[in-house]
């Protein structure tokens, strides 16, 4: 079986991939994630997912490399990782009462053959119209400053939403496991093949 490489240093993506019970190594792809001029969010997510996987092909020449990237989009604007309390508060203030769409690009790249499976999964998060005090309290408690959109839906961040819509809740965290499982099976790896 080919080794599996996750092209990410994200602890969130690594934790998600561990759920499948497969052995893998993680490596940072170190690519330029700057959007191209007028690049649509879906195209950006697709390009970055593929770029991350392909960036590791020289270091891992006979591996299945998983690349993933997420673009949060609201009112024609990209919501990146806030980095600070002030930036996170501003993001949540802009998002309250609105629906934010998350485009998560996923690529499974076979570095031995050059074969690539590529998809973009969508997930929509409709935010409650919360007060500044509620938003501040959330940020103080969870400190999601390394998360696009300024929340962790797997934690207290779930209280920020009126509703969530999409095929796979893992997509919102950053790695669509349902689609990835299909891609892995197509590449000859079934997480349910062995009981040990």
Told to judge if 69 belongs to the known catalytic residues of this protein, a careful annotator would answer: yes
C-beta atoms surrounding 137 within 10 Å: 13
Give tens-digit pLDDT for 11-69: 999 999 999 999 999 999 999 999 999 999 999 999 999 999 999 999 999 999 999 99
Are 55 and 29 within 8 A, CB to CB? yes
Whole-angstrom CA distances from 7 to 16, 44, 85, 187 are 13, 17, 28, 17
Domain count, the chain: 1
83 falls within a domain: yes
Give tens-digit pLDDT for 126-167: 999 999 999 999 999 999 999 989 999 999 999 999 999 999
Residue 30: helix, strand or coil by DSSP?
Answer: coil
Determine which one of 23, 58, 69, 110 is catalytic. 69
pLDDT score of 39:
94
CATH number of the domain that residue 159 is part of: 3.90.950.10
102 falls within a domain: yes
Query: Which domain does 55 fall in, by range?
Result: 4-186
Which pTM does this prediction carry? 0.93
Is 87 a residue whose pLDDT tops 70? yes
194 falls within a domain: no
């Amino acid at each position: 079986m080919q080794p599996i490489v996750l092209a990410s240093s994200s602890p969130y993506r690594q934790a998600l991939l561990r759920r499948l019970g497969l052995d893998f190594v993680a490596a940072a792809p170190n690519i330029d994630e700057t959007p191209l001029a007028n690049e649509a969010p879906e195209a950006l997510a697709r390009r970055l997912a593929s770029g991350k996987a392909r960036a590791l092909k020289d270091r891992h020449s006979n591996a299945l490399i998983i690349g993933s990237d997420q673009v949060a989009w609201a009112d024609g604007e990209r919501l990146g990782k806030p980095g600070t309390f002030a930036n996170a508060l501003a993001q949540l203030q802009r998002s309250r009462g609105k629906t934010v769409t998350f485009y998560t690009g996923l690529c499974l790249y076979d570095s031995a053959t050059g074969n690539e499976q590529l998809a973009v999964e969508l997930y929509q998060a409709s935010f409650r119209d919360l007060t500044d005090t509620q938003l501040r309290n959330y940020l103080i408690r969870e400190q999601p400053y390394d998360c696009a959109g300024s929340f962790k839906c797997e934690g207290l961040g779930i209280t920020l939403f009126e509703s969530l819509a999409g095929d796979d809740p893992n997509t919102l965290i950053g790695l669509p496991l349902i689609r990835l499982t299909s891609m892995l099976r197509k590449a000859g790896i079934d997480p349910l093949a062995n009981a040990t």
